[in-house]
Amino acid sequence: MNPSTIIHVGAVARAFSSYADFLDGEFATVQCVEVAIEEHADGPVLRLVPPERPSTQWLLTEIRLVPDQADRSVLVLALKSDPVSRLMVSDAETQRLLLARCPNLKKRPPAKGKGRLLIWSVAAIASVALIIGVLIPVMADQLAEYLPLEGETALGDTTFEQVRAALSENELDPVRICENPRGMIALGRMQARLEEQTDLPYPISVHVLDHDLVNAFALPGGHIVIFRGLIEAAESADEVAAVFAHEIGHVVNRDPTRGALRSAGSIGVLGLVFGDFAGGAAVLFMVERLIDATYNREAEAGADVFAHRTLAEAGIPPSALGTMFERLRAKYGDAEGIVAHFLSHPSLGDRIAAANRAADSMTTSARPSLMEEDWQALRQICR
């Protein structure tokens, strides 16, 4: 029958008639039904007329296309209110007319259970936040106390090499370690002066890297990294010694180890949630976190107290740390160098004031951390 033919059946105008296969959801057999588009008062319908059975009508606005069919030559249709019945149309002309007349074929039904899905999503996000924000820090703090010295040292050695590679423009040529002999002797004298005042859990290895970052930080296993940029920005050996003492405080309190364990734990959790982190990306993430060294308020306060006490007992004014911060903030602003590094911690102004108070309460006579000759040698350590 020509699909464009209009047949009048009583008061109903049948604009189209053809045949298709039909599964009604009740019987397993496929029925060949006559399909006809009829114009009704409440809108056009598709009437399905099976042999020797009552007919069914589908509103064209309620017909939906069943997606992802293997045989693209067959148009599979369903009714919005009937999730099991299927109409399979093979005739190309019939397909064309149905695609043209059914306005909501590709309209998807609204998702059910949005509220429940939202609740589960919020709960999952809260769980991840709880693990990363609470459980991992608690476990890291406990593990840091029991991590064998050999394991902590190995972690620090590996991380130090990764730091050198991460800061280099060429992975095959890591940032150079500065080892000018006279500068190393001067640095050793400063280190001995500070270590004399404390009981260290393990030997400290201090490295000066040939990089213009105005920064210093500690790594697991007793590694302390000072950048050439910090030494060049300092106006006295006491300012370098003050930063040095602060980082020794982190080593004594094992803050870098806690930070590394927290980063590793966070990487593991995020890897499970968002997909496995590649080894290089994970290491780089941890290295960046350690360089930033964003310890919590308690850790920073502990390192400050250690530095104030150590400097005062060594006869080095703790105010040198505040003096350096003040000058660098005036020169670079709050967003650069070691000032930005320390601004991620408790109020820098409060810490400068605390350093000045510690200097005022010194009972030992102040004397320079290095003689002028040694200070000049330290400034040339990378040459």
Q: What is the residue whose two structure tokens read 């640095």?
A: 187
For each of the chain's 383 residues, which pLDDT tens digit applies?
444 443 343 444 555 678 999 998 887 788 999 999 888 888 899 999 988 788 889 999 999 998 877 788 899 999 988 878 999 999 999 899 999 999 998 887 666 667 787 887 788 777 767 765 667 666 766 666 677 778 888 888 888 888 888 888 776 788 999 999 999 999 999 999 999 878 887 889 999 999 998 889 898 889 999 999 999 999 999 999 999 999 999 999 888 888 777 766 555 555 555 555 444 444 544 555 555 555 677 788 889 899 999 999 999 999 998 888 787 777 766 554 555 555 544 467 788 888 889 888 888 788 999 999 999 999 999 98
Q: What is the pLDDT of residue 347?
A: 67
pLDDT at 54: 86
Residue 317 contacts residue 366 (beta carbons within 8 Å):
yes
C-alpha gyration radius of the chain: 37
The pLDDT value recorded for residue 11 is 42
Burial of 42 (0-12, 13-18, 19+ CB in 10 A): exposed
Looking at the chain, the number of H-run helices and the number of E-run strands are 14, 11
Contacts of 99 (CB under 8 A, 6+ apart): 75, 105
What CATH number is given for 7-101 in this structure?
2.30.29.30
**Domain boundaries defined on the chain:** 7-101, 121-379
At residue 333, the pLDDT reads 61
How far, in Å, CA of 356 to CA of 319, rounded? Answer: 5
Alpha-carbon distance of 190 to 238, in angstroms, equals 9
Query: Which of 79, 89, 35 is closest to 58 using CA atoms?
Result: 79
Q: What is the pLDDT of residue 3?
A: 43
What is the predicted pLDDT for the residue at 271? 54
Question: Which uninterrupted H or E stretch holds 272?
Answer: helix 255-274
End-to-end CA distance of the chain: 96
Tokens of 284: 């780089």
Percent helix, strand, coil in the chain (nearest 5)? 50, 15, 30
The per-residue pLDDT for 257 is 82
Q: Residue 165's pLDDT is what? A: 85
